[in-house]
């Protein structure tokens, strides 16, 4: 009980993953998800209020306070929780999300890059448990990346590692909202898949392909090839033990992963002379980011 | 003195860097280079004999045996010193270089990827001393990469990290001897610079550019832009603290580094919202790989 008589859930943690279109919030008791909710993502200047509102609704539903709030946000996130830039969030530039949530005075707050949070979740409690070198790749509105190197989350010298979606793979290629051209996420994100399929949702194309639809199969293969090309670049540079793919596309497409694996081997430098890292779907699916945010929130 | 009456230089270590065209061997006493020699690189099947011969000549010149032999080799090098593949070495496929040198019975032998060795040299005794996250990039016949992550050499899950020269930056671009198309080293290595300048040696173009020659300046700027594009991809993915550039081109071009820095800032994702890692020339210049090999040889 707190001073004002409201019970506190001591082992509970809330994790929120801020996506390009939706925010997913969930509650962990231990490693188990006991509550889950979704709302549309507002513009960046309304983000803090929106999250406070969302979390308050969860606490009301649970009938107790939750001491830990972890948030996964796309783009550049500083170690103290400022969202510096995020082309897939409207108006995001220097949003002091961590401070605004901390100022409420109700939670221990930690804000993390969403894909880094997802990497942590898959490494700590998911498919990459026990691996020393993990590359997490989330295929959503954009492409996010998170790393575990030598058994530790790797955030880089300034906390901005993992912006793999903006790796240029086609110099002077398709323009990207980030201002550059030919970024990987223009060819291999969920949005790219939607574009390849004439506006159809990625999960719908994947289901059509799984039923044997020739057009959908061709779209999925082109898409898988672009995914694999970028993965090969990163494996060449970093040689991870395992690649974990997350995002809606991956969850719904059993035929997608085998094609990616196959094409990765072909794109990889000198692939016949080396082991190819395994490519696996995130155990926590689209929840990886939110689960990781909650778990990391506990640690901070 | 050994049993056969030959003096042993207890604190000496030999480092050899196997380049695409030349092998550089040097002798370290402490951190100081006391002897240096160069020979042409033979085809891969003659490599071991060639190195044994080269090292024996050094020992003869010094009048003593050297207990440590470190070798830096381009391409995929396994932890036990097998050179798996190396498109810039003739006929290199599964050359058991470590074993063949160890079998001579005269040296403690360590074989390392050349750019990883260079990264270690610059981090341990060069421009990157004290940095936690270092990216070493060698612009030679190809492009090599070496990493220090969180104060440790990062070789990856299988020892093959750093093949950044084969990062595809122009999908379906210029064919590469590795079998793929559009690899970074087709646009940003010493060989690429030679191609841009109509066959002229990179160092010559750099000198002409430094004297204000308009054609040479234009070639150097195009080249620097390709270098920066690839660096930006890797900084986006990994966020190093400092980038160390090695290779002949870098040593001779004071005007090259400023252009690379400038273009890197432009290519970097959301560069106005973040610090840009510094780009510095290797302190040990072309010797980084050999020095690093000797230093790592001592540790093994």
Q: How much is the pLDDT for A248?
A: 77
Give the nearest chain B residue to A78 (CA atoms): B274
Query: What is the pLDDT at residue B6?
Result: 57
The per-residue pLDDT for B1 is: 44
ipTM of the complex: 0.93
Asked if residue A140 and residue A20 are part of one domain, the reply reads: no
Per the prediction, chain B carries an average pLDDT of: 92
pTM, whole model, 2 decimals? 0.94
| The predicted structure's pLDDT at residue A3 | 47
* C-alpha dihedral sign at B279, B282, B285, B286: negative
8 Å CB contact of B154 and A150: yes
Burial (CB < 10 A; 0-12, 13-18, 19+), residue B6, is exposed
What's the rounded mean pLDDT across residues B12-39? 95
Closest approach of B146 to chain A, Cα-based (Å): 9
Whether A92 and A216 share a structural domain: no
- Chain B positions in Cβ-Cβ contact with residue A167 (cut-off 8 Å): 167, 233, 236-237
Say yes or no: B267 and B292 in one domain: no
Q: pLDDT, tens digit, for every residue of A150-177?
A: 999 999 999 999 999 999 999 999 999 9
pLDDT at B282: 96
3-state class (DSSP) for residue B296: helix
Cα A179 off chain centre by: 22
A242-257, pLDDT tens digit by residue? Answer: 999 998 788 766 778 9
Give the residue-averaged pLDDT of B197-223: 90
Whether A153 and A101 map to the same domain: the answer is: no
Q: Does residue A84 share a domain with residue A136?
A: no
Measure in Å the smallest separation between the Cα of A250 and chain B Cα atoms: 21
Q: pLDDT-based confidence at A7, cuts 50/70/90?
A: low
Report whether pLDDT(A90) > 90: no
Tell me the average pLDDT across B236-260.
89
Q: What is the mean pLDDT of residues A133-159?
A: 95
- Backbone phi, then psi, for B221, in 5-degree steps? -70, -40
pLDDT > 70 fraction of chain B, expressed in percent and rounded: 95
Domain count, chain A: 2
Query: Are B95 and B31 in a shared domain?
Result: yes
On whether residue B123 sits in a domain, the answer given is no
Instruction: Identify whether residues A143 and A157 lie together within a single domain.
Output: yes
CA distance B289 to B74: 10
Does B88 share its domain with B26? yes
Domain residues for the domain of B105 are 12-117+288-299
Please check the confidence at residue B224 and state whether its pLDDT lies above 50. yes
CA B203 to chain centre: 17
For residue B176, give the chain A residue with the closest CA.
Answer: A269
Same domain, residue pair A180 and A266: yes
Facing A277 at nearest CB: one of B149, B152, B157 = B157
Instruction: Give the pLDDT confidence score for residue A1 in this predicted structure.
Output: 44
Predicted confidence band of residue B3 (pLDDT cuts 50, 70, 90): very low
pLDDT tens digit sequence for B208-218: 888 899 999 99
Confidence of residue B20 (pLDDT cuts 50, 70, 90): confident
pLDDT at A221 over 50: yes
| Mean predicted confidence (pLDDT) in A34-49 | 94
For residue B166, is it within any domain? yes
For residue B4, pLDDT over 60 is answered with no
Buried-state track B72-86, b at ≥16 Cβ within 10 A, e below 16: bbbbbbbeebbbbbb
Do both B97 and B145 map to the same domain?
no
User: What pLDDT, in 10s, does the model give residues B61-109?
Assistant: 999 999 999 999 998 999 999 998 776 777 667 899 999 999 999 999 9
Give the C-alpha separation, B88 to A84, whole Å: 42
State the pLDDT confidence band at A6, using cuts at 50, 70 and 90: low
* pLDDT single digits (tens) A191-208: 999 999 999 988 788 888
* Residues B222-228, mean pLDDT to the nearest whole number: 97
Q: How many Cβ atoms from other residues are within 10 Å of residue B108's Cβ?
A: 16
Q: Residues of A with CB below 8 A from B233's CB?
A: 167-168, 233
What percent of chain A clears pLDDT 70, i.e. is strictly above it?
A: 95
The CATH number assigned to the domain holding B216 equals 3.30.420.40
* Residue-by-residue DSSP string for chain A: --TTS--B-TTEEEEEEE-SSEEEEEEEETTEEEEEEEEE---GGGHHHHHHHHHHHHHHHHTSB-SEEEEEESSEE-TTS-EEE-TTSTT-EEE-HHHHHHTTSSSEEEEEEHHHHHHHHHHHHSTTTT-SSEEEEEESSSEEEEEEETTEEE--SSS-TT-GGG-BSBTT-SB-TTS-BSBTHHHHSHHHHHHHTTT--HHHHHHHHHTT-HHHHHHHHHHHHHHHHHHHHHHHHH--SEEEEESHHHHT-TTHHHHHHHHHHHHSTTGGGSPPPEEEE-TTGGGHHHHHHHHHHHH-
Instruction: Give the pLDDT of residue B135.
Output: 98
């Amino acid at each position: 009980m707190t001073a004002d008589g409201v019970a506190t859930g001591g082992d509970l943690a809330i994790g929120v993953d801020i996506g390009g279109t939706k925010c997913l919030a969930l509650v962990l008791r231990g490693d188990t998800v006991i509550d889950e909710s979704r709302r549309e993502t507002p513009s960046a200047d309304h983000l803090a209020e929106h999250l406070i509102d969302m979390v308050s609704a969860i606490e009301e539903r649970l009938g107790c306070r939750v001491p830990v709030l972890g948030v996964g946000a796309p783009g550049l996130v500083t170690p103290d929780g400022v969202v510096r830039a995020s082309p897939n969030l409207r108006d995001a530039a220097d949003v002091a999300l961590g401070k605004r949530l901390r100022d409420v005075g109700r939670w221990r707050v930690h804000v993390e890059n969403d894909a880094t949070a997802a990497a942590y979740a898959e490494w700590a409690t998911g498919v990459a448990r026990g691996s020393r070198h993990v590359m997490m790749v989330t295929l959503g509105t954009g492409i996010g990346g998170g790393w575990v190197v030598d058994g530790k989350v790797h955030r880089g010298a300034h906390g901005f590692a993992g912006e793999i979606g903006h790796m240029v793979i086609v110099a002077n290629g398709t323009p990207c909202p980030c201002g550059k051209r030919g970024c990987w996420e223009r060819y291999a994100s969920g949005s790219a898949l939607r574009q390849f399929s004439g506006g159809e949702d990625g999960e719908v194309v994947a289901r059509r392909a799984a039923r044997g639809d020739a057009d959908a199969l061709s779209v999925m293969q082109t898409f898988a090839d672009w995914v694999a090309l970028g993965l090969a670049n990163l494996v060449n540079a970093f040689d991870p033990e395992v690649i974990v793919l997350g995002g809606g596309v991956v969850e719904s497409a059993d035929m997608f992963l085998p094609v990616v694996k196959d094409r990765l081997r072909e794109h990889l430098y000198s692939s016949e002379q080396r082991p190819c890292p395994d490519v696996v779907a995130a155990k926590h699916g689209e929840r990886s980011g939110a689960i990781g945010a909650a778990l990391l929130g506990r640690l901070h």
